[in-house]
Chains A and B, each alone.
Chain A
Amino acid sequence: MATNFTPEVEAYAKAEMTRQPLVLHKRDLAWVTQKICGIVEEPTPTWWWIAFLITASLSVLTVGGVAYLISTGVGVWGLNHPVGWAWDITNFVFWIGIGHAGTLISAILYLTRQKWRTAVNRASEAMTLFAVVCAGIFPGVHVGRIWMVWFLAPVPQANAIWPNFRSPLLWDVFAVSTYFTVSVLFWYVGLVPDLATLRDRAKTKLRKWIYGLLSLGWRGGNRQWRHYEMAYMILAGISTPLVLSVHSVVSFDFATSVIPGWHTTIFPPYFVAGAIFGGFAMVLTILLPFRAIYHLEDIVTVKHVEVMCKIILLTGTIVGYAYLMELFIAWYGANPNERYAFYNRALGPYWWAYWSMMFCNVIAPQFFWFKALRTNIVIVWVIVQFPNIGMWFERFVIIVTSIHRDYLPSSWGMFHPSITDILTFVGTFGIFLTLFLLFVRFLPMIAIAEVKAVLPQADPHHHAEEETHVHSSQK
């Protein structure tokens, strides 16, 4: 078949198929060091103090809310009968989900050799940790008698009572604490060479001492890199199933039950896809302003933003598939209770939550089909707010609508969050942002060594003349 395209079409296709460089403007190694270390080394900017003051005051809400809860009792929350499990667990699942994008970027994209990840992995991993910190507050305090929280741990207690290992809630304790620990280790291992860079650039004795201690005396010899890279790969290898398992186990909390609307076999992969979806939205929400403030456009390029938008589109569509599957099987299963649960979700008193979720998670990301929207940073930032909202509503819908109408109409009720509920949740954003601001101030927010490794001149087989004809097969 001899197809002849016009030169314009050929040229357009060629431009579209040409790979964009990961770091723009042919930057060199020293530029990368200077750019990223400069953020940490410059005198603290005024905006940082203002932002820190705001977020730190915001986080007081959570501290106050939790103190009020513990001193008074769970009655200060809006939980009631039949909705005995609502706001706290919604927030827990919401925050745990946010973390998943960081692990996806650091682990799964590492294994699939997606080199663009190097520009965003450090900040996203930091978000993972801070999100898990926020998540951990809720199951911690929702047990009611906080001084008995150690009952969660598998230690022989009074009267030799052991926890029930067949309970998904106990699996959750293991999954979330493992997730946090492994994420910290992974993050720290990635930080060590960059901390050594900060150590070598430190001007004051205190900085040198602190960064020197944290970098453990890293020297950057290939004999060290060899083991380092193996360890990094193994950590990526185990974090990949780990991140899948964490939200799967969270989904087991619901899916192992026999409550209509909760018991669905697709829950594990559906929760994981949703977590990655919401996580990427949060990564873009936080990263785009910092990209602008610190002029990181050469490292976090428009191409990077576009790729993340595509992941949001993909995972949003997978979430849409799961919603559809749930609805379809609820109908197909022909169980009247199951059918009613979904009817009630869509058309019951919480219809607004359901349709907000549907719009934010399934419809809104479809805008990312269009390149013009994916490449406009302001529009991207606006669109990713929908998944942030939608994923919170998703958990609210799953939890509250499934239990607010029990089998008997006499046990029907509504859930109304109390003011303590709302303020405690709002405060967690303060905690999250405060921690992130501190991270940006004291640690390199972009993985220096990893970005260097993806520069063209980092390749030992790189020769300057190769750049000119990347597509040499095109005759």
Chain B
Amino acid sequence: MSDHSHTFTPPSPERLTHDLDRVSKISLAIGVIALISSAVGGYCDRVQALHSYLFAFMYFYTIMAGAFFWTILHHAVDANWSVIVRRQFENVANLMGVMAVGFIPLFIFREDIWKWTQPSELAHSVLLQEKHGYLNMPFFIVRLIFYFGFFTGAAYFYRKLSTAQDSDGSIVHSWRLRWWSPLSIIGFGLAITFSALDWLMALDYHWYSTMWGVYIFAGSAQSSMATCILIVFLLRKAGYLKPLSGEHAHIMGKLLFAFTVFWAYIAFSQYMLIWYANIPEETVFFIKRNNGSWTYLSVFLVAGHFIFPFIYLLTQAVKKSWASLSVIAVWILFMHGVDHFWIIAPVVRPDGFSMRWTDFTSFIGLAGILVYVFIRILGSAGLFPARDPRLNDCIKLTN
């Protein structure tokens, strides 16, 4: 506190100097092998393997969408504190292109995942005929194009202007990014809501909840904050991003805490209202998950996704240390997986909790490929926006 220097020199730009080429290639190899084993698994049991894959896909998709959310939020509120970590959000959000390619198997085998896409289902289900105006193939494709087009395009735009500023230092980029951010929030809101409706809620086309989009968004923002905390922690361990202090960790910890509580608020409200009203077409979702051995997972979800991180993050000291913060970040990323497993798996495993080896191979497969691409993206530009006009304010931050 006492040694605030008044002559402030901005930190010099940093680039990745470690050679991660080998690491990235090993990661790619592991990813490809794991995905091939998933394909083999799919040959044995297509429905289960596809749901495993959907689980892995949604896990990473929500993290990337969340990273995009934090990027545009930074610009919309014109924040100081997040300048130096913003590049990592931009990097994660730019993995969305991989997810667009990763959707191809889901699209090809859609009839095994979303029952409403089967023509025979449409023929005999009166309910589905009622919903045909939304649940039809042409509109589904239009929406797909919107989700991936919006996310990849906008994420690319935000990173491109940000890296352009690294080279020319013009403040115009900051202003343009801020100008676009409120509109991007609207696009983001629509994309995350309706993709959550299309890919998760429509797993059972009978079921519906107006809260669903908000629920997926809450977990998405929370887990992507955890991801970024972890990335920053690793980069700092490797000797980068040294201007970041415990004050920055504190803010990220507070936001992680806030979204832990927000997720719980949304999850509780959704559960309680459905439980209380007890209408058959709504309770079907929770009955599947609150019966048999799935009950234990539901209880674990409440304890692990909310109660434990809530208590852990309550004290200030924990939030001010990157090390203790990254411990809970890993835990939250694990629980984010549990959350999506809890959403997807009971649909095809009604008899009770069970895990297939394809759950793991799909997850490792996508993770391997994403790590490979992420390292490429990480190395292709500076590790933080070195010429952002708010960088000084960011580094001088005190809570």
Q: Which residues of B contact A317 (CB under 8 A)?
A: 186
* Interface SS, A side: helix
Contact (Cβ within 8 A) A332 B209: no
Whole-angstrom distance from the CB of B130 to the nearest CB of chain A?
4
Q: Which residues of A contact B270 (CB under 8 A)?
A: 265
Contact (Cβ within 8 A) B276 A264: no
* Count of A-B residue pairs with CB < 8 Å: 125
Contact (Cβ within 8 A) B214 A266: yes
Whole-angstrom distance from the CB of A146 to the nearest CB of chain B?
29
- Could you pull out 15 A-B pairs where Cβ atoms are within 8 angstroms? A10-B171, A12-B175, A17-B78, A241-B261, A256-B273, A266-B210, A267-B269, A269-B269, A322-B210, A333-B281, A471-B171, A472-B10, A472-B392, A473-B387, A473-B389
Does B244 sit at the interface, judged by CB under 8 A? Answer: no
Q: Which residues of B contact A473 (CB under 8 A)?
A: 10, 387-389, 391-392
Whole-angstrom distance from the CB of B250 to the nearest CB of chain A?
11
Best-surrounded residue of B182, B269, B274, B391 (most CB of chain A within 10 A): B269
Q: Which residues of A contact B213 (CB under 8 A)?
A: 325
Contacts beyond the supplied A325-B193, A473-B389: 16 A-B pairs with Cβ under 8 Å: A1-B160, A1-B164, A3-B164, A3-B168, A10-B170, A12-B175, A13-B170, A256-B272, A256-B273, A264-B273, A265-B212, A268-B269, A325-B213, A329-B209, A331-B133, A474-B169
- CB < 8 Å neighbour of B273 from A3, A252, A466: A252
Contact (Cβ within 8 A) B389 A256: no
Q: Which residues of B contact A264 (CB under 8 A)?
A: 210, 273
Q: Which residues of A contact B254 (CB under 8 A)?
A: 111
Whole-angstrom distance from the CB of B83 to the nearest CB of chain A?
10
Whole-angstrom distance from the CB of A182 to the nearest CB of chain B?
17
Does B110 sit at the interface, judged by CB under 8 A? Answer: no
Q: Which residues of B contact A248 (CB under 8 A)?
A: 265, 269
CA gap between A5 and B161 in the complex, in Å: 13
Of all chain A residues, the one with the shortest Cβ separation from B213 is A325
Contact (Cβ within 8 A) A17 B168: no
Given the known inter-chain contacts A241-B261, A461-B6, please indicate yes or no for A13 contacting B171, CB distance below 8 A.
Answer: yes
Contact (Cβ within 8 A) B277 A333: no
Beta-carbon contacts under 8 Å, B169-228 to A = 169-176, 178, 182, 186, 189, 193, 208-214
Contact (Cβ within 8 A) A269 B266: yes
Beta-carbon contacts under 8 Å, B1-59 to A = 4, 6, 8, 10
Contact (Cβ within 8 A) B274 A265: yes
Given the known inter-chain contacts A3-B170, A332-B208, please indicate yes or no for A461 contacting B127, CB distance below 8 A.
Answer: no
Does A181 sit at the interface, judged by CB under 8 A? Answer: no
**CB-CB contacts of A253-268 with B at 8 A, as 1s and 0s?**
0011110000111111
Interface size on A, residues (CB 8 A): 50
- CB < 8 Å neighbour of B130 from A252, A263, A334, A369: A334
**CB-CB contacts of B234-261 with A at 8 A, as 1s and 0s?**
0000000000000000000010000001
| 9 pairs of A and B residues whose beta carbons are closest in the complex | A266-B210, A265-B211, A13-B175, A334-B130, A256-B276, A268-B269, A13-B172, A329-B210, A1-B164
Best-surrounded residue of A5, A255, A473 (most CB of chain B within 10 A): A473
Does B334 sit at the interface, judged by CB under 8 A? Answer: no
**CB-CB contacts of A66-103 with B at 8 A, as 1s and 0s?**
00000000000000000000000000000000000000
CA gap between A329 and B274 in the complex, in Å: 15
CA gap between A335 and B186 in the complex, in Å: 29
CA gap between A256 and B265 in the complex, in Å: 16
CA gap between A241 and B258 in the complex, in Å: 10
Does B399 sit at the interface, judged by CB under 8 A? Answer: yes
Beta-carbon contacts under 8 Å, B66-112 to A = 78
Does A9 sit at the interface, judged by CB under 8 A? Answer: yes
Does B167 sit at the interface, judged by CB under 8 A? Answer: yes
Does A2 sit at the interface, judged by CB under 8 A? Answer: yes
Does B357 sit at the interface, judged by CB under 8 A? Answer: no
CA gap between A13 and B174 in the complex, in Å: 8
